[in-house]
Structure formats: C-alpha cells, structure tokens
Amino acid sequence: MTTNAIAAVLRDGDGKFALEEVTLGPLASDELLVKVVGAGMCHTDLHILNPDLVAKMGPIILGHEGSGIVEEVGSSVRGIEVGDHVLISFDSCGRCRNCRAGIPSYCDEFFARNTTGRRADLSTSAIDRMGLPLANRWFGQSSFATHAITTERNLVVVDKALPLELLGPLGCGLQTGAGSVLNEMKLAAGQSIAVFGAGGVGLAAVMAAKAAGAREIVVIDLVDTRLETALEVGATRTVRGDTPDLVEAIKNGGRGFDFSFETTAVASVITTAVSILDIPGKAVLVGGSQAKFEIDPTLLTGRTVTFALEGSSIPQVFLPQLLDLWQRGWFPFDKLVQTYPLEQINQAVEDSLSGKTIKPVLTPAQH
C-alpha cells in the first residue's frame, strides 16, 4: 500500500526546505513504514545544502536520526512488529564480508545505501504531487517527514516507556561520537583524550570518555557557550581554538594525549589533532569534507590516524548500551537537545549553523 505523508523537501540551491505532500511506498518485502516521532538534525544533513550537491542529487528528503513507531511491515521482515517503538540508524546489506564480521558501518554497500538518497539499486520509493520521484532513502530513512521507509537492518527496537521524541540523535551523531571513543579507540580508565569541536558529535565523545573513566578530557572549540557545555557534560579542561601556540596550550606541559577526536574536517585542525598525541597515540577523524591536508610523515612516528564511520558501531548492540548509560545518568545527551516542529525546519538549520542549538530535533508527529 501507499502512504500520504508530509515531508521537508530540498529542491533548490537556496538551501531552504519546503513542506510538501508526498506519497511513500509501496514497501518492498524487506522494508518497513515508520511514523516519525523525532528526527535529529546532523551536520551531514547540512552538507547537502550545497547547491552543487542539491543539483546532483535532485529533489531529496533528508534526515537520518529518526525515531518513531512502526506502522507497516514488509512480508519478509522478522523480529519487528507493527506498534514497535524504534530508533532508525544507518543502513547496511547484512550479506557482505564486513557485515558478517560484525562491522556493518564498513558495509560494502554503505555509501550506496546511505549517501545517495536511494536504495542500493538507485531506485526510490516516493513521489511528489506531480508524480515525480523524490530521493527518500537518505541513510536508509529520510526522516525529515511524518513517515519514513526503512529496512530491518537499520532499526533498533526500544522500550515503549522511553521518551521516543528525544532519542533519534542516538542513531547517528551521538553514536558516532560515543562509538568512536568506546568502540574504535576502546578508551580505558585513566587514559586521556582531546576533542576538537564541541558540537553534538564531539560532546557525545566527551560524555562517553567520562563514562569510560578518562583521566583528562580536553575540548577545543571557538564558541564559548559550547565550551561551557563541554565542562557541564564531562570535560576536565577547555581551550579556545584561536589560542596562540595551540599545541602547547592543549598539551599544557604534559606528554600529550592517548587519543584525539577530530570533528571539524579543517585541515589545520587535523594536523593539530595529530601533533598533540603522545607516542603511542591514536587520532580518530569523523568530519566529512572535501578538504585535503598534508602532514610530515615523521609526525606519524608511533601514532595512528584513522577515519571512523558511525563510531564503528553495530546499532542493535551499541544503541541499547547508550540508552543504559543515559538512564544511569552517565550519558546526559538530552542536555544538548532543542526540539522544533517540522514546519520550523529552516529555523532549526539557522540555529544549528549559528551555534545557538547544539542538537536540533524535529518533531514531525506533531504536524
């Protein structure tokens, strides 16, 4: 069957979303229809506001941090039922070598399934009022809408007693930050970390590092209010990113850090994130950008640099762990959230870009 929905559609190079009536479906056998209750806004969504990308991808429904209630289930889906409350994370094939090895964030089809706005075969399952196709599988969901089509692989069933409208950001940005610390770095009690960028992803890393028992957590940013928030959620010290002799200011007379976490994708910041490491040390990069950076190979002596997708997480395993930490008071991500009705999506974009709001969450179910 098909479903009529309201979606925030991005069509033009002006970077503005417009609410439109769209038709979703019918479902493929492995797909599900979810009524979206909350949808976090991530900077990966905001990258697509670039006019060149909009022109390349065509009319698209963005949003990839959804939470909601299952309304329809495809014929081959097992283990998820109508009425289940779910978080929507990234999609994966479940069949390739990496998926079978338990690293679905490095699925052979990751980019086809998550960054094209289409299914892996490049088809879509939405049309506008003129009957023209819309890209509606951004990260396997396109959740800036009242309804989203997903697969079983990117859903995580959660307790119905939880505040579903707040939980969407766990599916990508917060998972990326926390997972990079707990899954990729495997940071242990007594170790140290420097976090570059105090947005939602960086602050998730801060909270995870504190929960893991990090000895020192230093956060670097240019926005004073975000540095204040970093201290509230677990940073032991902050440094403004425009501080003279930044490397020494971050190291503060010490040997350097066991880990650094870089979210900005700015070439000079990446170099700094490597420079402040102890030997041995590991830098994990997550910021998406076309920027290139050059580095003296000797700076890598005894040091490791990697780029992590989705915190190297298995959503069905890791998101319940984050929920448990949150319920215990060790992962207070709700302090970062500001909710907006779907019709205020352009205001949410503005507030996110200005730094006024760390983690906007849209509430389409209230539309």
- pLDDT single digits (tens) 68-104: 999 999 999 999 999 999 999 999 999 999 999 999 9
Nearest to 306 by CA among 284, 289, 333: 284
Residues of the chain with CATH 3.40.50.720: 177-309
Nearest to 164 by CA among 87, 72, 242: 87
Cα dihedral across residues 112, 113, 119, 125: positive or negative: negative
pLDDT digits (tens, 9 = 90+) for 169-181: 999 999 999 999 9
Residues of the chain with CATH 3.90.180.10: 3-171+332-366
pLDDT digits (tens, 9 = 90+) for 242-269: 999 999 999 999 999 999 999 999 999 9
Q: How does DSSP classify residue 184?
A: I
At the second CATH level, the architecture of 3-171+332-366 is Alpha-Beta Complex (3.90)
How many Cα atoms sit within 13 Å of 174 on the Cβ side? Answer: 35
Say which range, 8-17, 106-115, 123-132, 205-214, has the weakest mean pLDDT: 8-17
Stretch (H or E) spanning 211: helix 200-212
CA distances from 147 to 119, 330, 362 (A): 17, 32, 13
pLDDT tops 90 at residue 328: yes
Structure tokens at 12: 């033009």
> What pLDDT, on the 0 to 100 scale, is given for residue 366?
62
> What pLDDT, on the 0 to 100 scale, is given for residue 51?
79
CATH code reported for the domain at 177-309 = 3.40.50.720
Give the whole-angstrom CA distance, residue 205 versus residue 222: 18
Average pLDDT over residues 309-335: 97
Contacts of 330 (CB under 8 A, 6+ apart): 207, 210, 211
pLDDT tops 80 at residue 294: yes
Average pLDDT over residues 331-345: 96
SS3 breakdown of the chain: % helix, strand, coil, rounded to 5? Answer: 35, 25, 40
pLDDT digits (tens, 9 = 90+) for 126-136: 999 999 999 99
Q: Cis before residue 280, ω within 30 degrees of 0?
A: yes
β-partners of residue 305 are 283
Supply the mean pLDDT for the chain: 95
Give the whole-angstrom CA distance, residue 185 versus residue 286: 13
* Per-residue pLDDT band at 355 (split at 50, 70, 90): confident
Nearest to 263 by CA among 283, 233, 235: 283
DSSP 49-104: TSHHHHHHH-SEE----EEEEEEEE-TT--S--TT-EEEE-----S-SHHHHTT-G
> What pLDDT, on the 0 to 100 scale, is given for residue 182?
98
Give the whole-angstrom CA distance, residue 98 versus residue 314: 11
Say which range, 170-174, 290-294, 302-306, 329-333, has the weakest mean pLDDT: 290-294
Stretch (H or E) spanning 318: helix 315-327
pLDDT tops 80 at residue 191: yes
Average pLDDT over residues 154-175: 96
